[in-house]
Structure 1
Amino acid sequence: MPETLLLTPLTATHYPAVAAIYAEGIATGQATLNTEVPAWEAWDAAHLPHSRLVALTPTDEIAGWAALTPVSGRCVYSGVAEVSVYVGAKYRGQGVGLLLLRELVQQSEQQGIWTLQAGIIRENTPSLRLHEQAGFRLVGTREKLGQLHGQWRDVCLLERRSAVIY
């Protein structure tokens, strides 16, 4: 599957499909503590303007997406970003996420990002494995970090330090 995908910058025109994939992730109860998909304007404002990707199939269907969120507005953390990677339900387990994440790493380094981090719900073992395959390491687990539908959830914190940006 990954060899037939085209990675291209995520734009507003892609957002209806991106939002649908995000909604699929929300429905799993494992992908995010968020319960609603934001409107494009809110999503766009929250994410860095670079390093936004969609994976397009040969029929121009969006199989998945990836983007970065700044971790802080303080200039000393300008090279640290949080990763979001979501794959459509029918494309999961086919290498789409790893393809997106590896390209996101490369693009982030071209933009001067030295550390990528990911907060992953403890039970989301496929996402934990995916990030480890892409060079992320487990930093620790933040117990009962947030609630989802009234249930406390633990969130694993992973990070990847760039080997090319010092």
Structure 2
Amino acid sequence: MKPEIQIAYFSKIDWPKIATIYKEGIATGIATFETKIPSWETWDASHIKSCRLKAMIENQIVGWAALSPTSKREVYKGVAEVSIYITSKHQNLGIGTLLLSQLIKESEAEGFWTLQAGIFTQNKPSIALHKSLGFREIGYREKVGKLNDIWYDNTILERRSKTVI
């Protein structure tokens, strides 16, 4: 039997658990180019204040999703980049689908018309998750960054809202 998953907003008080899940993602080597967890203040300043969601099972945070602006230019105010992380102990339970689905709804309620994701090409589960919820592959960035002296490509996906026009 699948556990009941709740989705809720998160805030600074949740940061220690959110950061732990983020650290797990960093350790995989295919989730982010970050190599260390930023402070709450640094992370908070670089992410959109709305659309910060956590997934919980039995009051334990097991995943999170948030948006970052893609540009400071006014013309791109409705475009954001997706971050989504699920703890390794709770993968393959549908948490990613629930989180990303809710993030899409929240983003549209906030007026975002395009969501983007730059995903390590090796991260096939994340690419599949995004595609399953209407993201389309629009290309890739070849050797866009180095991590531990290895160049990595990013697959670029985007989802255009059908409700925010």
- Smaller-chain TM-score bracket: over 0.9
Is 2:14 the partner of 1:14? yes
Task: Write the mapping of 1:124-139 to structure 2, written as runs, cut at 5 A.
Answer: 124-139=123-138
Verify the 8 A CA contact 1:2 1:95 in the aligned structure 2.
no
Go from structure 1 to structure 2 and tell me whether the alpha carbon gap of 1:2 and 1:137 turns closer, same or farther (over 3 Å shift): farther
Count of aligned pairs between the two proteins: 165
Given residue 40 of structure 2, which amino acid in structure 1 is its aligned partner? W
The Cα offsets for residues 64-97 of structure 1, whole Å up to 9 and x where unpaired, read as: 0000000000000000000000000101111101
5+ residue gaps, structure 2, are none
Given residue 20 of structure 1, which amino acid in structure 2 is its aligned partner? T
5+ residue gaps, structure 1, are none
Q: What corresponds to 2:149 in structure 1?
A: 150
Q: Distance in 1 between matches of 2:7 and 2:98?
A: 9
Q: Distance in 2 between matches of 1:7 and 1:165?
A: 23
Q: What corresponds to 2:39 in structure 1?
A: 39
Is 2:103 the partner of 1:101? no
Question: What RMSD in Å do the two structures reach over aligned CA positions?
Answer: 1.1
> Equivalent residue of 1:21, what SS?
helix
Verify the 8 A CA contact 1:55 1:64 in the aligned structure 2.
yes
Q: Distance in 2 between matches of 1:2 and 1:78?
A: 38
Verify the 8 A CA contact 1:66 1:85 in the aligned structure 2.
yes
> Equivalent residue of 2:22, what SS?
helix
The Cα offsets for residues 2-54 of structure 1, whole Å up to 9 and x where unpaired, read as: 76111110111111000000000000001011111101000111000000000
The Cα offsets for residues 90-113 of structure 1, whole Å up to 9 and x where unpaired, read as: 011111011000000000000000
> Equivalent residue of 2:27, what SS?
helix
> Equivalent residue of 2:122, what SS?
coil
Verify the 8 A CA contact 2:3 2:57 in the aligned structure 1.
no
Given residue 89 of structure 2, which amino acid in structure 1 is its aligned partner? K
Go from structure 1 to structure 2 and tell me whether the alpha carbon gap of 1:2 and 1:78 turns closer, same or farther (over 3 Å shift): farther
Q: Percent identity?
A: 48
Task: Write the mapping of 1:48-67 to structure 2, written as runs, cut at 5 A.
Answer: 48-58=48-58, 60-67=59-66
Q: What corresponds to 1:24 in structure 2?
A: 24
Q: Distance in 2 between matches of 1:2 and 1:47?
A: 31
TM-score of the superposed pair, with normalisation by structure 1:
0.97
The runs of at least 4 aligned residues of structure 1 exceeding 6 Å deviation read none
